[in-house]
Amino acid sequence: MLTVSQLTSLQAILPVDRIHLDANMCKRYGQDWTRYTTPQAAAIVFPVSIEEVQALVRWANVAGVGIVPSGGRTGLSGGAVAAQGEVVVSLERMNRIDGFDPLARTVRCQAGVITAALQQFATDNGLYYPVDFASSGSSQIGGNIATNAGGIRVVRYGMTREWVAGLTVVTGSGEVLECNLGLAKNNTGYDFRHLFIGSEGTLGLVVEATMRLTDPPPATTVLLLALPRLEDIMAVFHAFRSALTLQAFEFFSDLALTHVLAAEHATAPLAERQPFYVLLELEAPTPDAEEQALQQFSRCMEQGWVTDGVLAQSQQQAKALWRLREGISAAITPFTPYKNDISVLVSQLPVFVTRLQALLTRDYPDFEVLWYGHIGDGNLHINVLKPVDWALADFQHACEQVNEQVFALVAEFAGSMSAEHGVGLLKRDYLAVTRSAADIALMRGVRAVFDPNGIMNPGKLLA
Ligand code: MLT
Ligand code: ZN
């Protein structure tokens, strides 16, 4: 709760109708998609300008109140959870797209622009914004930047980082910085833009960004393949990637398929079920390329890596196949999944997944464990479902025990303990799996420079 004097000084910055203290709003805006932490926001505020954000940060420094920057709150690591009486700064009213530069192929977005709105803007202007994921209808550009969002086309276009030409940020000490000015070339020392990308709101708030756009992709072909063995998946990846340009290379397990089919009231796409499926989107601008895709499919069948497959015959079929992959996360949300989001080098994946499968079968005999993810990036989402009769705390505790083993394996393979979901609260205490002690000490130092009073997203990323 804010004290009377904290509230009075806050009301001097924003009109009262943009300061919300009621329990419903505090609950709604005080959490993201994670359900492992109880939200405890003191207030939700809605600035509409950079000046207001700056005034809020200055107020927080004087009042000694933490700030949680808030975008679409679709995160999965608790990075946008206000768990200790912070003020949530929602940037949703700063949602203007302007400053389109067709020659530079960049566009200026305020932080609260919805990802899908930027995608649509690009399309309307004959261009393409390629970062895409299931939550693009509600996630916001500022949040995507703060978490360096990935998604389904990283194998072709990279993460959000690749698409940020410039940033306007308000640092934790209340300075407004223009980072990189939207330039294509600017070799003038430390590029703070890259510090803010993926900083999870711990250095300041991203308030505006200049985003890069590109050519629309050529015509594509979508295939779904069934695989008896996960360890063959990289052979399939190699076969298709050597012959064609991949737009996406995703996978999921049969258990994941079962859940998504049930949630979507859909029927299985292939007559025969196998333990794993790969969903590929290939650039196929010519009949030759389609022929190439079919040749690679036959080759994978001959090798026994793949036993069946379907090639979408229309846009509608392609969309339906994609639903099977993109619908998984929502389908399992009611089971309060314990999520892992790990990655290793793609060259290490066959050996890594063999070891991981053995470990999970041994240590999770009683829980449903689903596999899916962006396997073309070496990124696996392992989701353990909570049985209805288990208390959340007991379930979390049981999963954390196994997690120790999973992360030991990730460390052995020099992988990442959070490939795309970020660190937030949920993964914070595991940072040392992937980052060295020297790294972490320097991260603390950087944080102290930008946020000397520790008001920015306290407790996230670093303990
Ligand atoms: C996905 O790949 O579907 C998203 O990262 C969400 C999730 O992991 O549940
Ligand atoms: Zn993902």
Q: Residue 147: left if φ>0, alpha if ψ -120 to 50, beta else—which one?
A: alpha
How many A from CA of 37 to the centre of ligand 1? 19
Say how far apart CA 377 and CA 233 lie, in whole Å: 12
Q: Residue 195: left if φ>0, alpha if ψ -120 to 50, beta else—which one?
A: alpha
Domain covering 336-438 assigned CATH 3.30.70.2740 in the classification: yes
Fold classification of 97-212 (topology level): 3.30.465
Give per-residue pLDDT as tens, 335-347.
999 999 999 999 9
Q: Residue 181: left if φ>0, alpha if ψ -120 to 50, beta else—which one?
A: left
Closest CA to 374 of 131, 75, 162: 131
pLDDT at 249: 98
Domain covering 4-92 assigned CATH 3.40.50.1370 in the classification: no
Quick check: CB of 134 below 6 Å from ligand 1? yes
Indicate the SS3 state at residue 220.
strand
pLDDT at 181: 98
Give per-residue pLDDT as tens, 101-148.
999 999 999 999 999 999 999 999 999 999 999 999 999 999 999 999
How many A from CA of 113 to the centre of ligand 2? 21
Say how far apart CA 355 and CA 82 lie, in whole Å: 37
pLDDT at 364: 87
Say how far apart CA 37 and CA 177 lie, in whole Å: 33
Query: Pairing between strand 67-70 and 87-90?
Result: parallel
Quick check: CB of 20 below 6 Å from ligand 1? no
Residues of the chain with pLDDT below 50 are none
The residue whose CA is least distant from atom 7 of ligand 1 is 329
Task: Read off the tokens for 193.
Answer: 């833009």
Quick check: CB of 329 below 6 Å from ligand 1? yes
pLDDT at 280: 98
Say yes or no: do domains 220-329 and 336-438 share a fold.
yes
The residue whose CA is least distant from atom 3 of ligand 1 is 329
pLDDT at 275: 98
| CATH level 2 (architecture), domain 220-329 | 2-Layer Sandwich (3.30)
Task: Read off the tokens for 359.
Answer: 């470990």
Residue ranges per domain, the chain? 4-92, 97-212, 220-329, 336-438
How many A from CA of 398 to the centre of ligand 2? 23
Q: Has this prediction a pTM greater than 0.95?
A: yes
The dihedral formed by the CA atoms of 181, 50, 29 and 212, expressed in degrees to the nearest 10: -20
Contacts of 350 (CB under 8 A, 6+ apart): 231, 232, 233, 234
284-292 contacts, C-beta under 8 A, 24 or more apart? 284/218, 284/219, 284/220, 284/221, 284/244, 285/218, 285/219, 289/221, 289/244, 290/221, 292/243, 292/244
How far, CA to CA in Å, does 188 sit from each of 146, 184, 185, 199? Answer: 23, 12, 9, 21
